[in-house]
Amino acid sequence: WLEHAIDLAEALGLRVRQDFDRGLFSLNAGDASGSVTFVGHVPNRELRCLVGEWDAFFLPSFVAETFGMVVVEAMAAGVPVVAFGIGGAAEFLHHGKTGILVHEQTPWAAAEALSLLMGRDGVSLKRRLTAQAKLLITDQLAVAKVAEEYKQVFLLLS
C-alpha cells in the first residue's frame, strides 16, 4: 500500500516524509495549504476521533470488495469519499452525488479526483456530497431498513 500511497502523493505534487517514531507518513506541498497523513493501522477506539478531522476519505482498493463498511462509516461521519469504481463501493457510491468514483485505477486518476475536493469549488462539492451521502445512509442503509430487508429474504427462504 505504501508504494501506491507514494505514487499518489507524487501525482498530487506532494512531498513525502516519514515519522519513524510514530510510523506515520506525511505529505505536504511545502506550505500550510494542505497536507495528507497516512496513519496506518489505528485502533477502533481512536478511529472515531480521527474520522471527524478528515477533509476526505480515499479507498485505494485495487480488488473488488463485496461491501466496504469503511466507506459507509466515512459517509456517516460527514467525510466526502473518493474510491475506485469497483466492488461494493461502486454500488452505493454514486459519482458526483454521494461521492467520487475513480474508474481508472491509477494514482494519477485518484489524484485528479482528490484534487476536485481541494480545488476552488471543493468546499461546495464537499457539502453537496456529504449531504447526499447522509441521505443515502438514512434512506437505504439505516439499521431498521436493512433488518427489514433481511427479514424479507429469510421469509422467502423459509
- Provide the pLDDT for residue 31: 42
Give the H/E segment covering residue 150.
Answer: helix 143-157
Residue 54 lies in a domain: yes
Q: What is the CATH number of the domain that holds 108?
A: 3.40.50.2000
The predicted pLDDT at position 9 comes to 66
- Cell output for 48: 472515531
**27: in domain:** no
b/e per residue 26-62 (b: at least 16 CB within 10 A): bbbeeeeeeebebeeeeeeeeeeeebeebebbbbebe
Which stretches in the chain have pLDDT values below 50?
19-33
> Are 140 and 37 spatial neighbours (Cβ–Cβ below 8 Å)?
no
Could you give the 3-state DSSP secondary structure of residue 55? coil
Per-residue pLDDT, 49: 79
26-65 tens-digit pLDDT = 444 444 345 666 666 778 888 777 887 788 888 887 677 7
Tally of domains in the chain: 1
| 54: containing domain | 42-157
**Residue 1, in any domain of the structure:** no
| 21 domain residue, yes or no | no
Q: How much is the pLDDT for 150?
A: 94
Query: H helices within 85-142, ranges in order?
Result: 87-92, 107-118, 122-140
